[in-house]
Structure 1
Amino acid sequence: MGIPETYRGIVEKIHAAGIVDENFERKLSDIVGLRNIIVRMYADIKAELIYENLDGIIATLKESAKKLLEFCKENKIDP
């Protein structure tokens, strides 16, 4: 599979491996985009926007961890 060079590349690779479906890949890509905006201050983002979407962000991240752990167990990979 190779080593991804970006966070978005990680998302693309786990989708290509069949770990997540296209819909979930899109959700994760959105979170990566938000992360890039926050970390690099590409835009003036309001804390309220993040707070309003926090439940969805956390749910997506929890589901991501669950899917990755399931993949590791199924493929006998030590997470």
Structure 2
Amino acid sequence: MRRILPLLVLLVSVAAGCTRPPYAAPGKDLTAVNEDYTDCFTEASLTVNTPPFPAAPLRQRDKETDACMVERGYTWQWLVF
């Protein structure tokens, strides 16, 4: 049990840190980033799930989400804490 507890705490902390969208823009707080990301992700998901369907829907959804976020002034970040 003593070995499991630190591992569980580490796993939960890493999982909690991975819930933020990997985008940033000057002057925008986390709430604004989340709202814009939700809008872009929803638009991309609707586009991908409407015929004609793309060959690689997940990749296409990610590309469209990224393009939308860049259009709104965001840059992609590797590590977001």
TM-score normalised to structure 1 length? 0.39
Q: Which has a greater percent of helix?
A: 1
The structure with the largest alpha-carbon Rg is 2
Structure showing greater relative contact order (alpha-carbon pairs closer than 8 Å, 6 or more residues apart): 2
Q: Which has a greater percent of strand?
A: 2
